[in-house]
Amino acid sequence: MNATKIKLITDTASDLPDELLSKHDIHMVPLTIHFGEKEYKDRVELPIPAFYKELAANTSLPSTSQVNPDQFIEVYKRYLAEGYKILVVGISLKLSGTLQSAQIAKDMLESDEITIFDSKSASLGEGLCVLKAAQCIAEGMTIPQIVQVLETQRAEATGLFVLDSLQHLVRGGRLSKTQAVVGSVLNIKPLLSFANSGEIVVKEKVRSQKRALQIIINRFKEQNLDFSTKTMGIINTECLELANEFAKVVQEEFSPKDIIIATGGATIGTHVGTGGIGLFC
């Protein structure tokens, strides 16, 4: 075993359930959620169920802001003082400035004991990357060895997400209001993917949610991978029953080593709305 103590840090955009954070001793730093004039630290001041209640109660959509450098400095100082080397695995730089803040904090402390890794993903795409890092730490790998494993996993990672509503894509500038009206009438569900660059792209537009979920299964099948050695993640935004039903299909089709089912927090919930389902591996 490697005698070096390594502390793994991620952000709330990774959507890992509390029990997994606790099991693997992962420190999670919160993004900030803004509902009008009110702001909350994600999952600290506003737990996930409370976020969805606020979302339903507000006519205007919330926004999120990145973890700031001061938050990272505080966490870094604590673990460096305890003799840890630090590995930060975070949300894609193309989606948030959180890892930029992590780097600024590292530069301010002038520490060589901190390594920062861009998952080039978010939600459970990021979360599965964090879990792989935790497993590597448990196996006694050094940080350079862990980064090598993560780079390989990142290159092979897949994530597809179906939205129930088009309004959030309109707000994000990915669809016009006219397209959204037409899409809603036709019951069109957009299928999103994480590009290798770390950006979210609209891959396909599908009629009906049932059809969209079947297409997600088909796209994963097309990869011709042995999923029996892999962990798969199913994320939902306030539709856990549908996620559990989808998990049964995923289990039958792929027989993965493990399936993690999680409810997406404020970061994904803000940008895609309720009723979304995603599959990551």
* pLDDT bucket at 174, cuts 50 / 70 / 90: very low
Higher pLDDT, 167 or 200: 200
Residues of each domain in the chain carrying CATH 3.40.50.10170 = 6-31+66-155
What is the SS3 assignment for 17?
coil
Which of 63-67, 111-115, 170-174, 260-264 has the lowest average pLDDT? 170-174
pLDDT of res. 1: 47
Domain formed by 159-280, architecture: 2-Layer Sandwich (3.30)
Looking up tokens 């909350």 gives 40
> What tokens were used for 140?
């006694």
How high is the pLDDT of residue 183?
A: 47
- Neighbour order of strands in the sheet with 38-41: 38-41, 32-35, 63-65
Cα angle 97, 100, 10; round to 5: 80
For residue 133 the two structure tokens come to 């890092």
CATH of domain 6-31+66-155: 3.40.50.10170
> Using 50, 70 and 90 to split pLDDT, how confident is the model at 164?
confident
Answer yes or no: is pLDDT of 89 > 60.
Answer: yes
The CB density around residue 40, as the number of other CB atoms within 10 Å, is 20
- Model pLDDT for residues 112-136, shown as the tens digit of each residue: 999 999 999 999 999 999 999 999 9
d(CA 205, CA 185): 13
User: By three-state DSSP, how is residue 188 classified?
Assistant: strand
Residue of 263, 278, 272 whose CA lies nearest to 48? 263
Query: Range(s) for CATH 3.30.1180.10 in the chain?
Result: 159-280
